[in-house]
Amino acid sequence: MLVDIQVLRRDFPTLAQIVNGHPLVYLDNAATTQKPQPVLDALNHYYRDTNANVHRASHALSGQATRAFELAREKVARFIHAPSATEVIWTRGTTEAINLVAFGVGRHFLHAGDEILISTSEHHANIVPWQQVAAATGAILKVIPLNASAGLDLTAAGRLINERTRLLAIGHVSNALGQVNPVAELIAMARAVGAITLVDGAQAVGHFPVDVQALGCDFYAFSGHKMFAPTGIGVLYGKSEWLEKMPPWQSGGEMIKNVTFEHTTFAEPPFKFEAGTPNIAGAIALGAAVDYLQGLDRIALLKHEQALLAQLLDGLAAMDDIRVIGRPQAGAVSFVMNEVHPQDLATLLDMQGIAVRTGHHCAMPLMQALGLKNGTVRASFSFYNTHDDVAALLAGIDKARELL
Q: Has domain 41-294 been given CATH number 3.40.640.10? A: yes
Domains of the chain by residue range: 5-30+297-403, 41-294
pLDDT on residue 1? 45
- The overall average pLDDT reported for the chain is 96
Could you report the per-residue pLDDT of 326-355, keeping only the tens digit for each?
999 998 999 999 989 999 999 999 999 999
Can 217 be counted among the known catalytic residues? Answer: no
Angle at CA of residue 204, ends 171 and 31, nearest 5°: 90
Gap between the Cα atoms of 396 and 174, Å rounded: 25
Beta carbons within 10 angstroms of residue 166's beta carbon: 23
pLDDT on residue 255? 86
Return the percentage of the chain with pLDDT > 90, whole number.
Answer: 94
302, 362, 369, 404: which is the annotated catalytic residue? Answer: 362
Instruction: Supply the CATH classification number for the domain 5-30+297-403.
Output: 3.90.1150.10
pLDDT on residue 2? 56
Of 335, 372, 325, 387, the C-alpha closest to 356 is 335
Gap between the Cα atoms of 334 and 164, Å rounded: 35
Could you report the per-residue pLDDT of 80-110, keeping only the tens digit for each?
999 999 999 999 999 999 999 999 999 999 9
pLDDT on residue 202? 98
